[in-house]
A and B are shown apart, each in its own frame.
Chain A
Amino acid sequence: MSSAVREIDNTLDVPGQRAALITGGHDLGSLTDVACAPWEAPRPPRAWYIAFGLSLALLAVLGAMIGYLVLNGVGVWGLNNPTGWAFDITNFVFWVGIGHAGTLISAILFLFRQKWRTSINRFAEAMTIFAVVCAGVFPGIHVGRIWLAYWLAPLPNQMAMWPNFRSPLLWDVFAVGTYATVSMLFWYVGMIPDLATFRDRARSKWKQVVYGLLALGWTGSSRHWHRFERAYLILAALATPLVLSVHSVVSFDFAVSQLPGWHTTIFPPYFVAGAIFGGFAMVLTLAIPARELFGLKNIITPRHLDNMCKITLLTGSIVGYAYLLEFFTAWYSGNPYESFVFKARALGPYAWAYWTMIGCNVVAPQLFWFKAFRTRVWLILLVVMCVNIGMWFERFVIIVTSLSQDFLPSSWDYFRPTWVDLLTLAGSFGLFFTLFLLFCRYLPMVAMAEVKTVLPLTDPRAHPHPHVPATRAFDYNPDEFDPAATSNPRDAREERP
């Protein structure tokens, strides 16, 4: 890959010194220029047009498939008697899972003070929302009588449209609905200062009006910043449990049943880990081309990629752990149906899908143990593509293998997707990428205001400020240490007798 921006390797870590998160010697102004460049350029790069054209074509395919489905009914899918749920729910779970990385990065990593998140959080959050939009399509269209899809919405209950409050499908509506709402709010609130930057830099009248409305009158006053940071922290705290709850509820869709292969207690945390795994793979899939195309290599540095690869390795290993325990317990339980299903997964008619899943989800990410694989973009792309494929197959394996061979051998049947199934799946990527490409062009892709806080320039340690005593503990040496300099004034205030 080539780019005008020189890449600086900042993955090396010397304990005691933190590597620079933003390279290229940016100051506040040049950073704003770089971050605004994709938006300010009169035209996006040619690759953007090509990608956008392809995405629009795929989106059209999605529209056509949905139209065909509505006109003909769900019979156009490959569903058969035991397998009444296949691509529709697989795609739903796949896309909801993708939507987990954004909120993990923006909320959980924020609470954990992971400063490197600032470079990637904005577009990871955007990706989350678009993935949830894609996910939302499938429950809507899988109901068959699509004109009644509004029954999924939380309408008053006196119409007796929700006969069963114990149904996890109902919980799904609330869980995903809450998640989409909070993610959207979080994304938007975080974007306000950057939207104000766009407003201030806009040249045309209509841009000034549109971005001015979106910026909600942001002036950057201390009071604004104070309230903004409060709101952001509270939203982060509210969004954190949602990262866990959404995919836990999605896992309940399967795990509350008594179907072997679905009913197992590790499902909730295992699904959450899998979602984060798949989500990070997608973030990497998008981040690598984006940083090349839009000249963001100094903002999304090798260190960011390295960190994301490590999280992918971690969550991939957790997923592998869950596979192992499921297999072990299938035998250990002594339940013949349970052990049958797991044997059938590995050796039965869907063995090809199962081993694809194992290869992509468990084996491939193990390559990230090696630094060579975490620092070369083509190798990273290779691995995360495997993960993208593997995580789709994981849901397919769970859903279809358990359904197609259940308790009664007389009702077994092999599920084959039709061309409509396959094209609907492909089309959902069109929706996702169309939204994402529009976002790259029209909204602040980098959280400029947040990135500025991690610049070496804004670190009081690097440039002693007149108000910060130079003798703070930063030059600690155990032999000649003056503790008076470190004592925190808050201690005296907050420590009560």
Chain B
Amino acid sequence: MNHAPDMSKDVRPIATGRAAFCAAVVGALGLAAGVLFGLRDGWDVFFRSYLLNYTYVLSLALGALFFVMLQHLVRAGWSVSLRRLAELVAGTLPLLAVLFLPLLVPLLAGMPGVWEWASAEAVAHDASGLLRHKQPYLNVPFFIVRCVVCFAVWVGLARYFVRRSVAQDATGDVQLTVRMQWWSAPGMLLYGLTVTFFAIDALMSLNPHWYSTIFGVYFFSGSLVGFFALLALLVYFVQRAGRLTHAVTVEHYHDVGKLAFGFVVFWAYIAFSQYLLIWYANLPEETVWYQPRQGDAWWTGVSLLLLLGHFVAPFAALLSRWPKRRKGTLACAGAWLLFMHWLDLYYLVIPRAHGHGHEPAAPLHLTDVALLAGLAGVCVAAILRAMARQALLPERDPRLNEALSFENI
């Protein structure tokens, strides 16, 4: 080889100024358009759509946080060259904590928000009496307390791991790795509990009459599918921009593909477990959740699309070795799975039981698109800005050698 490429270029931050600015503009325009649509279509539609798109971007960041902690927990070597990208995504959690605040506005202002249980009127008129029964848990102050705890844990963990990792770039201190390893185990415990209860609070309680013990795991499994899809896309674009071209090889793509495949199957397993058990027992208090999701042509279509697009197609596409080892193919699969993960949350958030005094809401609003662009734009801008500031590789991680020389057998 007569021209040895320069490794230092590999780790150098990307000058993303313009791209970050564009993303921020898209984000701002999207949010503004969302508010305008909200004025037109009603705040009910706005907040539901905001919740959908917010949990979408949040789930990706939570998936990234999980990935980062997992790599420390198992002392992984192969993934070191990808870890900074995940840290960048997890680094949006403080921003996401701020972006959660709009969802609290209707709760504090006493407006009918997305959560039926928050309205005293709905509780009083609930014929089943279940909302009254659940009030010790489903009430506004306690909900806010739980949200504060969740975000404190996530922001705390994200900052801890990202800061230590970046600090190591400068010092190369091995003790930082030891300490992150130590914290990753209790971090996982906190993570598991907070993600579960957040999923119950924010998503499951949208239908406060319904319950499913597996719901937290369902949300978690989908988040990880979304994150690995995002990671495949992210590394693809970073390499296109001329970074990480040596530190990340097809071997890493292969492993990201395997993990995406694994979590696709895990998601399907969890979704199937929930569906089968509820279908089989056929208790009205449980089937009530599936009823609006299979009640009309649109939602039946969405359900089937999830089955085919979130499981069957990616299963077939990612089963073989070669699609995972072709960068473009894996990036395409990533883009598709990112869309499917959005559809999964759409399926969780938007449908609602008939006969609770709601107008039969249109299944898809322009607000959904606008707020997706808005929230994703803001987060992408934040990630790009961070990319411009720090190395894209934990270049002094003691296990970097293993990542650089890693090969799948």
- A486 within 8 Å of B (CB atoms): yes
Residues of A within 8 A of B1 (CB): 484, 487
- CB within 8 Å of B: which of A448-489? 472-476, 478, 481-484, 486-488
- A333 within 8 Å of B (CB atoms): yes
Residues of B within 8 A of A17 (CB): 398
Cα A461 to Cα B274 in complex, Å, equals: 48
- B303 within 8 Å of A (CB atoms): no
Cα A305 to Cα B213 in complex, Å, equals: 33
Cα A379 to Cα B396 in complex, Å, equals: 38
Cα A331 to Cα B196 in complex, Å, equals: 16
| Contact A15 B246, CB 8 Å, known A256-B280, A483-B4 | no
Specify the chain A residue showing the minimal Cβ separation from B255.
A113
Residues of A within 8 A of B214 (CB): 265-266, 268-269
Cα A266 to Cα B212 in complex, Å, equals: 8
Residues of B within 8 A of A483 (CB): 4-7, 10, 246
**Per-residue 0/1 for B367-409: is the Cβ within 8 Å of any A Cβ (1 yes, 0 no)?**
0000000000000000000000000000111111100110101
Cα A248 to Cα B217 in complex, Å, equals: 15
Interface stretch (choices B38-46, B57-65, B265-273, B290-298) = B265-273
Tell me if B401 and A269 are in contact (CB < 8 A): no
Residues of B within 8 A of A487 (CB): 1, 246
Cα A252 to Cα B270 in complex, Å, equals: 13
CB proximity of B80 to chain A, nearest CB, Å: 10
Cα A111 to Cα B6 in complex, Å, equals: 34
Tell me if A263 and B281 are in contact (CB < 8 A): yes
Interface stretch (choices B47-55, B89-97, B148-156, B174-182) = B174-182
- CB within 8 Å of A: which of B271-303? 273-274, 276-278, 280-281, 283, 285
Contact of A484 among B4, B10, B278 (CB under 8 A): B4
Tell me if A488 and B250 are in contact (CB < 8 A): yes
Interface of B is mostly: helix
Residues of A within 8 A of B269 (CB): 244, 248, 268-269
Tell me if B250 and A269 are in contact (CB < 8 A): no
Cα A169 to Cα B89 in complex, Å, equals: 45
Residues of A within 8 A of B273 (CB): 248, 265, 267-269
Tell me if A256 and B326 are in contact (CB < 8 A): no
Tell me if A478 and B11 are in contact (CB < 8 A): yes
CB proximity of B400 to chain A, nearest CB, Å: 6
CB proximity of A473 to chain B, nearest CB, Å: 4
- A335 within 8 Å of B (CB atoms): yes
Specify the chain A residue showing the minimal Cβ separation from B213.
A266
Cα A266 to Cα B178 in complex, Å, equals: 35
| Contact A16 B249, CB 8 Å, known A483-B5, A494-B326 | no
- The size of the chain B interface, using a CB distance under 8 A, is 64
Cα A450 to Cα B3 in complex, Å, equals: 40
CB proximity of B83 to chain A, nearest CB, Å: 13
Cα A322 to Cα B133 in complex, Å, equals: 23
Residues of B within 8 A of A486 (CB): 246, 404-405
Contact of B401 among A248, A255, A474 (CB under 8 A): A474
- A321 within 8 Å of B (CB atoms): yes
Residues of B within 8 A of A335 (CB): 285
- B130 within 8 Å of A (CB atoms): yes
Tell me if A490 and B250 are in contact (CB < 8 A): yes
Residues of A within 8 A of B280 (CB): 166, 256
- A157 within 8 Å of B (CB atoms): no
- B327 within 8 Å of A (CB atoms): yes
Tell me if B281 and A257 are in contact (CB < 8 A): yes
Cα A475 to Cα B405 in complex, Å, equals: 10
The winner among B5, B7, B269 for most chain A CB atoms within 10 A is: B7
- CB within 8 Å of A: which of B231-259? 246, 249-251, 258
| Contact A15 B285, CB 8 Å, known A326-B213, A329-B211, A478-B395 | no
CB proximity of A226 to chain B, nearest CB, Å: 12
- A241 within 8 Å of B (CB atoms): yes
Residues of B within 8 A of A265 (CB): 212-215, 273-274, 277-278
Specify the chain A residue showing the minimal Cβ separation from B391.
A478
The interface of chain A, by Cβ under 8 A from chain B, is: 13-17, 111, 113, 166, 229, 241, 244, 248, 252, 255-258, 263-269, 317, 321-322, 325-326, 329, 332-335, 369, 472-476, 478, 481-484, 486-488, 490-491, 494-496
Would you list the 4 A-B pairs with minimal beta carbon distance, nearest first? A16-B398, A266-B213, A265-B214, A15-B398
13 more A-B residue pairs beyond the given contacts A325-B213, A478-B8, with a C-beta to C-beta distance below 8 A: A256-B276, A256-B277, A256-B281, A258-B281, A265-B214, A266-B213, A326-B213, A329-B212, A474-B405, A476-B404, A483-B6, A484-B5, A486-B246
Ordered by A's residue number, 16 sampled pairs between the chains whose C-beta atoms are within 8 Å are A14-B398, A15-B398, A15-B399, A244-B269, A248-B273, A265-B213, A266-B213, A268-B269, A269-B214, A269-B269, A269-B270, A317-B189, A482-B7, A483-B246, A487-B1, A488-B407
